[in-house]
């Protein structure tokens, strides 16, 4: 399913590319055992088949009769949706190309990601599996007064695991759009996951994961 939905509206928008920014909160970089802040955004992609709007569940995929991982982890992220095709956008013009925002979870199979890092292999398997990119419905940007100052949090079974503010992002949204538009170009319906704060954790079957961003919304997904 790759149709994005706009809140309080019948409008849908086809999801094109899913860009994800890694290492965008210093406290998450340190919890991953790293101390080096990136000089430019760390970018990876998820396939559009990983997108799911308000899905009820997330499942670790099975292949050849067994689960491919036993370490599914939560990463709450502010998601930006692009309104129009654009290339080479300046930082000051970036806001013109934003349609709105959503709450997202960058579900990650951490064991496979760590293995890929050790072996110098791509992260795609650990980050791009089916339903690994759940998002809430889109809130139009006009309804958000300051996207760089929103509380962002995630709880598991009612216990807070991640709690931060978007002001802590190393690369702000306007710079991320500027950067991606120069290198890849952006398209209407592109989705950008903007990175997670600290508090990522291993999830178990039956866990209820609730992600929330002030003024944007709530996204609740059960681990199956």
Binding interface with Mg ion (CB under 5 A): 75, 106, 196
Nearer to Mg ion, 162 or 196 (CB): 196
Distances (CA, A) of 124 to 6, 28, 182, 211: 28, 20, 23, 23
8-state DSSP, 61: -
8-state DSSP, 156: E
Nearer to Mg ion, 48 or 108 (CB): 108
Asked whether 213 and 143 are in contact (CB, 8 A), the reply is no
Minimum distance, C-beta of residue 24 to Mg ion, in the bound complex (Å): 8
Nearer to Mg ion, 75 or 212 (CB): 75
Minimum distance, C-beta of residue 97 to Mg ion, in the bound complex (Å): 22
Nearer to Mg ion, 97 or 193 (CB): 193
- For the chain, the 3-state helix, strand and coil shares in percent, each to the nearest 5, are 20, 40, 40
Asked whether 80 and 191 are in contact (CB, 8 A), the reply is yes
- How do beta strands 76-82 and 42-46 pair? unpaired
**b vs e for 43-70, b when ≥16 Cβ sit within 10 Å of the residue's Cβ?**
bbbbbbbbbbbbbeebbbeeeeeeeebe
Minimum distance, C-beta of residue 203 to Mg ion, in the bound complex (Å): 15
Task: Please state, in angstroms and rounded to a whole number, the distance separating the CA atoms of residues 86 and 205.
Answer: 41
Residue nearest to Mg ion (CB): 106
Helices of type H across 120-213: 124-127, 173-183
Nearer to Mg ion, 20 or 98 (CB): 20
Nearer to Mg ion, 106 or 212 (CB): 106
């Amino acid at each position: 399913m790759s149709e994005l939905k706009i809140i309080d509206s019948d409008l849908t928008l086809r999801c094109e590319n899913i860009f994800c920014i890694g290492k965008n909160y210093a406290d998450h970089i340190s919890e991953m055992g790293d101390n080096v802040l990136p000089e430019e955004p760390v970018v990876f992609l998820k396939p559009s088949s990983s997108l799911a709007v308000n899905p009820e569940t997330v499942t670790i995929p099975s292949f050849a009769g067994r689960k491919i991982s036993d370490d599914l982890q939560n990463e709450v992220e502010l998601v930006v949706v692009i309104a129009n095709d654009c290339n080479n956008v300046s930082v000051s013009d970036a806001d013109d190309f934003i349609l709105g925002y959503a709450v997202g979870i960058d579900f990650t199979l951490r064991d496979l990601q760590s293995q890929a890092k050790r072996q110098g292999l791509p992260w795609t398997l650990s980050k791009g599996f089916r339903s690994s990119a759940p998002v809430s419905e889109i809130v139009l940007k006009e309804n958000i007064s300051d996207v760089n100052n929103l509380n962002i949090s995630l709880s598991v079974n009612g216990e807070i695991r991640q709690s931060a503010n978007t002001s802590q992002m190393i690369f702000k949204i306007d710079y991320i759009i500027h950067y991606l538009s120069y290198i890849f170009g952006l398209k209407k319906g592109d989705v950008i996951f903007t990175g997670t704060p600290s508090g990522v954790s291993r999830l178990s079957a039956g866990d209820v994961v609730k992600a929330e961003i002030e003024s944007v919304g709530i996204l609740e997904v059960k681990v199956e």
